[in-house]
Structure 1
Amino acid sequence: MVLKLYGTAGANGTTRIVALTLAEKQIPFEMVPISLAGENKTPEYLAIHPFGQVPAIDDDGFILYESRAICRYLAEKYQDQGTKLIPTELKAKARFEQAASLEFANFNPYAWTIYFEGLNKARRGVAKDEAAYDNAVAQLSNTLDVYEVILGKQKFLAGDEFTLADLFHIGFGVFLAPAGCDLMTTKGPNITRWWNEINARPSNVMLKGGATLTSNMFTPEALHA
């Protein structure tokens, strides 16, 4: 039974990082689009995700939700397939978890707020909360000051290999510039180098420009075109 991915067809932040993990690990999947305009609150979907959120997966009867938990599960289940996204050596794995924690606590909350206030609300014709937006930009700038130092010593956030800790940043990081925040390419040369590299991964490039996420999008031929 092919793995089913329940998420937004437009591959928003959390659905995107699961889709990118599937692509990096070369895992076939069936895309099951879920509309957040009510389809996510049906009894059928609430039996899959009790909070009525996305994404979720059904891996041959094993149901799992929460994007980062899904990504870790896939990376470890398919450890020897595709890109190695979680180190196995004890200290390297500890550094990975450290970097992943940094993203979750010090990047994602501010990137999400910038996206929500600067882009999501604009798409819906709602005025943004300027104070909330400006505070998120200031807090993200502080985080990136530290990233600039870290990335001056190593290629990626967990060391010299690309991991889920880097991939997690793509989810809402790609929406920063459209939301009016250019910090990822102006804050410092180390951040710019790192961001340009992870943002240019073939799987992510295929999702740019509002592309619809489909089951057969990430073929080996397409990813290596």
Structure 2
Amino acid sequence: MVLQLHGFPTSTCTLRVAVVCKEKNIPFDFTLVDLLTGEHKKSPFTDVQPFGQVPYIDDNGFVLYESRAIGRYLATKYASQGTPNLVPADPKANALFEQAASIETANFDVFASGLAWELRFTKMYGGETDEKRVATLIASLQAKLDAYDVILGQQKYLGGNDVTLADLFHLPYGSVIVSIGVNEFDKRPNVARWWKDISTRPSWLAVKNGL
């Protein structure tokens, strides 16, 4: 049975899973969960995902949600195909990967997703942008990317010299903030080189505009 991906076509977290599938050459069938009608907030979706958030996968009866957990599962299960070492097996390499993955969660996602919400999604739902919060988020992101530039001046990718899930996890929200005019990547040479590398990968180009 082909992997089933349940999500919304342009959802950042859904695309985070889709890009991993493409990197690992994993075929999947996509099932639309209509966020616009609130399908994700009621049964039968919440019977599977009690938080009412997309996506989840069904891998021949094994159901899993949370996009980063799904990414780790797929990269590990299909380690022998597609891009190697997205989750390194060597203990030291794996520790560096987990360090990089933690950096993405704590030092990038919180600021990039906040900016995406304030500058795009709030307006979509009829709200008003909190300009003070935007300024704070941008200042915080700038400081974090200064640290990224130091790390990426010493190695090709965030977890070492091979691309890992930690790099790919940046793609959905990174692309959103670039599209709304917050392009802090190009202001730092090492970050700019890294972002160009990961954001032009065929896997991301195949899914970035939606499923």
What is the TM-score of this pair, normalised by structure 2? 0.96
- Partner Cα separation in structure 2 for residue 161 and residue 14 of structure 1: 23
- Cα–Cα, structure 1 residues 141 and 162, in superposed 2: closer, same or farther, change >3 Å? same
5+ residue gaps, structure 1, are 214-225
What is the CA distance between 1:193 and its match in structure 2?
0.2
Report the Cα offset of residue 41 of structure 1: 2.0
Question: Partner residue of 2:179?
Answer: 178
- CA distance in 1 between counterparts of 2:198 and 2:178 reads 15
Provide the residue aligned with 2:93 in structure 1. 92
Give 1:55-74 correspondences, 5 Å limit: 55-74=55-74
TM-score by length of 1: 0.90
The DSSP-based 3-state class of the residue aligned with 2:63 is strand
Counterpart in 2 of 1:17? 16
Q: CA RMSD in A?
A: 1.1
* Paired amino acid for 1:13: T
Superposition pairs of residues 1-225 of structure 1, within 5 angstroms = 1-10=1-10, 12-36=11-35, 37-84=37-84, 85-186=86-187, 188-208=188-208, 211-213=209-211
SS at match of 1:51: coil
Q: Is the 8 A contact 1:114 1:179 kept in 2?
A: no
Contact 1:119 1:178 in 2 (8 A): no
Residues 118 and 180 in structure 1, CA contact (< 8 A), matched pair in contact too: no
Letter in 1 for 2:56: A
**Counterpart secondary structure, 2:5:** strand
Instruction: Report how far residue 125 of structure 1 moved.
Output: 4.3
Inter-partner Cα distance in structure 2 for 1:48 and 1:3: 16
8 Å CA contact retained: 2:15, 2:210: no
| Greater fraction of residues in helix | 2
Q: How many residue pairs end up in the alignment?
A: 209
Q: Secondary structure at the match of 1:5?
A: strand
> What runs of 5+ residues in structure 2 fail to find an aligned partner?
none
Deviation, 1:171, is: 1.7
1:42 and 1:182 mapped to 2: Cα distance? 37
